[in-house]
């Protein structure tokens, strides 16, 4: 019942050591490094990881599927380079993989933004399929990717601890990157966009995050997340509109 853990990195030296220390219980650690210019690759090797250097190329699913192709254990766990597996989750995973009827598990993710746990908003409801049997599925979508696993799946109780976006500037840079990839994906899917979509979707996203899901209870970090996710929605659709304009 071995576990291969796969971690994607790109200049993640500030967080990678904690991530890798938290997955030391796994039988195999695989790091897919997107040509980092910091010490990410060296840190990974110090923790006994097998490191592959591979350009992301604007497609997170292809990067994850490449990692899947290198895994040799029966179970595969995906952990991002700004996430930590708690001791409670580690024990829960060890029990979960004994199941003979389930091919995968959703994990809860607890966001911690600038020292504050986010207990409300859309991030509190995030459940990600990150643990599954090898050979039971592939990752889909270039960004906001999902692991399409066949067969029964369950949900674990304890959370991954996630510390994203060390600053507002990093948050903006990430949103700019993700919205560009997302807009290109929608364009290739022939998803149409209008002025109504560009205005209505971001507005609805903010109301959902900040009011409906009570993001305001998370203080200033909750406000920033609601605004940023609304801006992400705006950028995606504005960039999609521009792609159609360029095509003529």
CA gap 143, 148 in Å, rounded: 14
Cβ proximity of 69 and 139 under 8 Å: no
pLDDT of 163-203, one tens digit each? 999 999 999 999 999 999 999 999 999 999 999 999 999 99
pLDDT greater than 90 at residue 107? yes
pTM to 2 decimal places: 0.94
Is residue 15 situated within a structural domain?
Answer: yes
Q: Are residues 136 and 212 in the same domain?
A: no
Report pLDDT for 100.
86
Report pLDDT for 99.
86
DSSP 3-state helix, strand, coil percentages of the chain (rounded to 5)?
45, 25, 30
Q: Are residues 61 and 136 in the same domain?
A: yes
Q: Are residues 149 and 191 in the same domain?
A: no
Report pLDDT for 193.
96
pLDDT greater than 90 at residue 62? yes
Least Cα distance to 111 among 103, 101, 120 occurs for 120
Is residue 121 situated within a structural domain?
Answer: no
CA gap 125, 108 in Å, rounded: 8
Q: Are residues 157 and 180 in the same domain?
A: no
Q: What is the mean pLDDT of residues 53-71?
A: 98
Look over the chain and give the mean of its residue pLDDT values, rounded to a whole number. Answer: 97
Strands 3-9 and 28-33: parallel
Count of domains for the chain: 2
pLDDT greater than 80 at residue 1? no
Count of CB atoms situated within 10 Å of the CB of 12: 23
Q: Are residues 137 and 189 in the same domain?
A: no
H helix and E strand count, the chain: 7, 11
Is residue 198 situated within a structural domain?
Answer: yes
Cβ proximity of 122 and 195 under 8 Å: no
pLDDT of 3-23, one tens digit each? 999 999 999 999 999 999 999
Is residue 226 situated within a structural domain?
Answer: yes
Report pLDDT for 125.
87
Least Cα distance to 134 among 67, 44, 186 occurs for 67
CA gap 40, 51 in Å, rounded: 10
Q: Are residues 92 and 186 in the same domain?
A: no
Q: Are residues 76 and 24 in the same domain?
A: yes
pLDDT greater than 80 at residue 50? yes
Is residue 232 situated within a structural domain?
Answer: yes
DSSP string, 191-205: ----HHHHHHHHHHH
Q: Are residues 221 and 203 in the same domain?
A: yes
Domain of 242? Answer: 168-247
Is residue 174 situated within a structural domain?
Answer: yes
Encoding tokens for residue 158?
Answer: 């304890």
pLDDT greater than 80 at residue 204? yes
Sign of the dihedral defined by the CA atoms of residues 213, 199, 192, 178, in that order: negative
Report pLDDT for 94.
95
User: Could you tell me what percent of the chain has a pLDDT over 70?
Assistant: 100
For 32, residues 6+ apart whose C-beta sits below 8 A from its C-beta are 6, 7, 8, 9, 52, 54, 63, 64, 66, 67
């Amino acid at each position: 019942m071995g576990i291969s853990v796969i971690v994607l990195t790109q200049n993640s030296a500030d967080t990678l050591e904690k991530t890798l220390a938290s997955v030391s219980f796994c039988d195999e650690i695989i790091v897919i490094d997107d040509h980092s210019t910091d010490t990410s690759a060296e840190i990974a090797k110090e923790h006994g990881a097998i490191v592959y250097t591979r350009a992301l190329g604007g497609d997170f699913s292809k990067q994850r599927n490449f990692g899947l192709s290198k895994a040799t254990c029966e179970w595969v766990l995906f952990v991002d380079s700004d996430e930590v597996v708690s001791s409670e989750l580690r024990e829960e995973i060890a029990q979960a993989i004994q199941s003979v009827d389930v091919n995968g598990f959703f994990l809860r993710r607890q966001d911690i933004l600038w020292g504050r746990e986010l207990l409300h908003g859309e991030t509190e409801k995030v459940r990600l399929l990150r643990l599954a049997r090898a050979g039971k599925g592939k990752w889909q979508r270039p960004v906001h990717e999902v692991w399409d696993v066949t067969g029964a799946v369950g949900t674990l109780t304890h959370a991954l601890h996630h510390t994203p976006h060390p600053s507002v500037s990093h948050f903006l840079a990430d949103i700019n990157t993700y919205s560009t990839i997302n807009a290109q994906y929608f364009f290739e899917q022939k998803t149409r966009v209008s002025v109504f979509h560009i205005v209505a979707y971001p507005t609805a996203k903010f109301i959902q995050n900040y009011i409906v899901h009570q993001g305001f209870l998370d203080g200033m970090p909750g406000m920033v997340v609601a605004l940023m996710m609304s801006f992400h929605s705006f950028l995606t659709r504005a960039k999609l509109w521009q792609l159609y304009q360029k095509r003529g």
